[in-house]
Amino acid sequence: MRHILAALFAITLASPALPADDPLTTGIKHEAERRAAAHEFSGALLVAKNGKPIVEGAYGGNDIDTKFRFGSMGKMFTAVAALQLVQAGKLALDAPIARYLPDYPNKEVAAVTIEQLLTHTGGTGNIFSPEYFDHRLETREHQDYIRLFGSRGPMFPPGSRWDYSNYGMILLGRVIEVVSGQSYYDYTRTHIFEPLGMTATGNEPEDSHVPKLPVGQTHMGPRPGPPGPLRPNTDTLPYRGTAAGGGYSTVGDLLKFMNGLNSHRLLDAAHTEMLMKPRLATARPGNEQALGFGVRTWPDGAVSIGHGGGAPGMNGELMSFPKAGYLVVVLANQDPPVATDLAEFIVRQLPKDSD
pLDDT, tens digit (0-9, with 9 covering 90-100), for 304-322:
999 999 999 999 999 999 9
Provide the CB-side half-sphere exposure for 243 (13 A, CA): 30
Residue 177, amino acid: E
Annotated domain spans of the chain: 2-354
In words, the CATH class of domain 2-354 is alpha beta
Q: Where are the beta strands (DSSP E) in the chain?
A: 43-49, 52-59, 68-69, 217-218, 231-232, 248-249, 280-281, 287-289, 294-297, 303-311, 314-321, 326-332
Q: What is the pLDDT of residue 112?
A: 98
Contacts of 116 (CB under 8 A, 6+ apart): 122, 158, 159, 168
Contacts of 241 (CB under 8 A, 6+ apart): 69, 74, 202, 203, 247, 248
Band (pLDDT 50/70/90 cuts) for residue 4 is: very low
Percentage above 90 pLDDT, the chain: 88
Residue 311, amino acid: A
Contact between 124 and 155 (Cβ < 8 Å): yes
Mean pLDDT of 232-243: 95
Provide the CB-side half-sphere exposure for 62 (13 A, CA): 30
pTM of the model: 0.93
Dist. CA 37–CA 188, nearest whole Å: 37
Q: What is the pLDDT of residue 7?
A: 37
